Structure 1
Amino acid sequence: MKTTTRFNQAIEKLYKAFHNNTLNPECCNQCAVGNILDNTDAWKHLSDFHGATQLNYLGLVHQNLGRKFNGYSPIELLQIEATFLKACGYTLPLHHTHKKPKRTPENLFNGLEAVVKLLCKFDNVPNVMDCSILFDYKSEKSKTIQLV
Structure 2
Amino acid sequence: MKTSSRLEKAIKKLYVAFHANELNPECCKHCAVGNILNNTDSWKHLSNDHGSLELNYVGKVHQTLGRKFNGYSPLELLQIEATFLKACGYQLPLHHKNKKPKSSADKEALFNGLTAVMEYLCKLDNINNIMDYSKLFEFENEKPKYQLPY
Normalised TM-score (structure 2): 0.90
- Aligned residue in 2 for 1:124: 126
**Aligned match of 2:108:** 106
The equivalent of 1:144 in structure 2 is none
Deviation at 1:99, TM superposition (A): 2.7
Distance 1:110 1:21 in 2: 15
Quick one: which amino acid aligns to residue 100 of structure 2? K
Q: For 1:26 and 1:36, locate their aligned partners in 2 and report how far apart those are by CA, in whole Å.
A: 15
Root-mean-square deviation (CA, aligned residues, Å) is 0.8
Q: What is the one-letter code of the residue matched to 2:69?
A: F
For residues 82-112 of structure 1, the C-alpha deviation after alignment (integer angstroms, 9 at most, x for no partner) is 0000000000000111132023100000000
Give the Cα separation in 2 of the matches to 1:136 and 1:60: 45
Query: Partners in 2 of 1:99 and 1:132 — Cα distance?
Result: 32
Aligned partner letter, 2:28: C
Structure 2: state its 5+ residue gaps.
140-150
- Structure 1 unaligned runs (5+)? 138-148
What is the aligned partner in structure 1 of residue 46 from structure 2?
46
Displacement of 1:21 in angstroms is 0.2
How far apart are 1:80 and its partner, in Å? 0.1
2-side partners of 1:100 and 1:8: how far apart? 30
Kindly state the Cα deviation for residue 133 of structure 1 after the two structures are TM-superposed: 1.3
Q: Percent identity over the alignment?
A: 69
What SS does the aligned partner of 1:134 have? helix
**Quick check: which one's helix share is greater?**
1
Structure 1 distance, partners of 2:100, 2:112, is 15
Alignment of 1:69-84 (within 5 A): 69-84=69-84
Give the whole-Å Cα distance in 2 for the aligned partners of 1:41 and 1:134. 39
Work out the CA distance in 2 between the residues paired with 1:63 and 1:96. 29
Counterparts of 1:93 and 1:136, CA distance in 2: 40
Give every structure 1 segment of 4 or more consecutive aligned residues whose post-TM-superposition deviation is greater than 3 Å: none
Partner of 2:23: 23
